[in-house]
Amino acid sequence: AAAEGDAGDLRGLRVVVSAGGTREPIDPVRYIGNRSSGRQGVALALSAAERGADVVLVAAHVDDGVLAAASARPGLRVVRAGTAAELGTAIAAEAERADIVVMAAAVADYRVAEVSPLKRAKESAPVGGITLDLIENDDILAGLVRSRREGQTIVGFAAETPGDGETLLDRGRRKAARKGADLLAVNEVGWSKGFEATDNAVTIISADGEVIGARRGSKDDVAEALWDAVRMVRESRAK
Ligand code: CTP
Ligand code: CA
């Protein structure tokens, strides 16, 4: 739940949050997916509704049970999307009326070039292995930034695995500069970090790399910190 002082601070604002992992079909029974549970995005949507916003949750694949809490919530509408392309279409439509858009979904960077209408069979494949051709998906966040309206706030997430001579924040700052979103929530992921975990740790930076906030805690705590940061940048811009 929101802290006392925060109750209702997003009232009157239209918020769109994407959550979960997209799934890119290979054939009717297989897909390329990722480990996103949707928990952080759903926590963001619930917390925004709690703080008074009118919320649309654009949900890609979200773990069973995680979405149930959101579906029953007044002030929150759920739109489903399967692939990155579907998510992009849904977000673009919802963003037209939105004051704040948060891209918490784990969007597939690539899709399968030729989706087979029939289940692929080994019988009709080369012996020993196959190659799948992949095509890069549109960057939804970059598109939102390009079409950002006056007064609209765009927020991205960056899941990074550090360890190649660069700190998490360095990588985050490069991504923030590249993406141009008003805020980027940078979090460390790894084999046992970030995804199925109930806890999360993020550093929230502006497009020019300034640290606006940081939070380690439950995904609810991180959600509250993110809305605090959003409110801060909106207030500083309104001056
Ligand atoms: N994102 C998006 N559309 C894509 C890929 C990512 O909107 N096709 C969004 C994610 O929802 C997230 C942000 O961009 O808010 C950063 O995603 P991330 O995967 O960290 O960045 P990429 O630019 O895809 O770079 P890379 O995966 O190579 O690190
Ligand atoms: Ca990516």
Look at residue 1 in the predicted model and tell me its pLDDT. Answer: 47
Is 119 annotated in a binding site? The answer is yes
Mark whether 34 is an active-site residue.
yes
Look at residue 91 in the predicted model and tell me its pLDDT. Answer: 98
Look at residue 199 in the predicted model and tell me its pLDDT. Answer: 77
**Ligand 1: centre distance to CA 179 (Å):** 9
Ligand 1 atom closest to 105 (CA): 11
Look at residue 238 in the predicted model and tell me its pLDDT. Answer: 82
Look at residue 195 in the predicted model and tell me its pLDDT. Answer: 66
Is 195 annotated in a binding site? The answer is no
Look at residue 2 in the predicted model and tell me its pLDDT. Answer: 43
Taking CB atoms and a 6 Å cutoff, what residues make up the pocket around ligand 1? 84, 103, 105, 107, 109, 137, 139-141, 156-159, 175
Q: Which ligand is nearest to the CA of 144?
A: 1
Identify the segments of the chain with pLDDT beneath 50.
1-2, 4-5
Entry pTM = 0.95
Q: Which ligand is nearest to the CA of 168?
A: 1
Look at residue 233 in the predicted model and tell me its pLDDT. Answer: 95
Report pLDDT digits (tens) over 60-81. Answer: 999 989 999 888 899 999 999 9
Look at residue 122 in the predicted model and tell me its pLDDT. Answer: 95
Q: How many CB atoms lie within 10 A of CB 182?
A: 23
From CA 235, how far away is CA 62, in angstroms rounded?
32
Our mutation pick for probing the ligand 1 site, out of 103, 148, 154, 170, counting the most ligand atoms within 8 A of Cβ, is 103
Look at residue 192 in the predicted model and tell me its pLDDT. Answer: 66
Ligand 1 atom closest to 106 (CA): 11
Residue type, 81: A
Residue 103 structure tokens: 């891209």
**Ligand 1: centre distance to CA 107 (Å):** 6
Distance (Å) of CA 172 to CA 10, 180, 219: 27, 12, 19
Map residue 232 onto helix, strand or coil.
helix
